[in-house]
Amino acid sequence: MPKLPSRSRARQLPSVDPVLAFLVVTVAVLAVTFTLLLGSTTPNPVGQETSLTDATSLIDAGQVQAGTLRDFDHQLELRTKDGRELYAGLPSNGADTEQIVAAFQKAAGPPPLRIDPQSGKQTRRIIVQVLLPILFLVALFTLFARLAQASDDIGKFSKWRGKTGGNARSRATFADVAGTPTAVEELRELCDLLDAPDRYAALGARAPRGALLVGPPGTGKTLLARATAGEAGAAFYSVSGAEFVESLVGVGAARIRDLFAQAREHAPAIVFIDELDAVGRKRGAGVGQGNDEREQTLNQLLVEIDGFDAGSGIVVLAATNRPDVLDPALLRPGRFDRQITVDAPDKGGRAQILGLYLVGRPVAADVDIDVVASRCPGFTGAELENVVNEAALLAARHARTEITAPDLDEAIDRVVGGPRTTTHRLTPDELHSIATHEAAHAVVARALGGAGTRRLSVVARGRQLGVASVLHGDRERVVLRQSDLEKQLATTMAGAAGERLAFGELSTAVNDDLHAATTLARSMVTSFGMSELGPVTIGEKSGEVFLGASLQDLGSVGQSTLDTIDVQTKRIVELAESRAADALREHWTVLQRIASELLEHESLDEHALDVLLSPIGEAGDSQ
Q: Which residue numbers are catalytic? A: 438
The gap between the terminal CA atoms of the chain, to the nearest Å, is 111
Residues 6+ apart with CB under 8 A from 492: 513, 516, 517, 520, 576
H helices of 307-456, in order, are 328-331, 347-358, 369-374, 381-397, 405-417, 428-448
| Bridge partners for 451 per DSSP | 472
Strand-by-strand arrangement of the 113-116 sheet: 48-49, 85-89, 75-80, 64-70, 113-116
Measured distance CA(591)–CA(443) in Å, rounded? 6
Q: Between 588-601 and 559-586, two packed helices, what is the crossing angle to 10 degrees?
A: 80
Strand-by-strand arrangement of the 451-457 sheet: 467-472, 451-457, 603-604
Residues 6+ apart with CB under 8 A from 367: 358, 403, 404, 405, 408
Closest by Cα among 318, 199, 616 to 444: 616
Closest by Cα among 256, 238, 332 to 298: 256
Q: Any idea what DSSP says for residue 110?
A: P
Contacts of 559-568 with CB under 8 Å at 24 or more apart are 561/533, 564/532, 564/533, 565/522, 565/525, 565/526, 565/533, 565/538, 568/525, 568/531, 568/532, 568/533
224 dihedral zone (left: phi>0; alpha: psi -120 to 50; beta)? alpha
Triad 506, 507, 508: Cα angle to 5°: 130
Query: Which letter, b or e, does each residue of 97-128 get, where b requires 16 or more Cβ atoms within 10 Å of its Cβ?
Result: beebeebbeebeeebebeeeebeebeebbebb
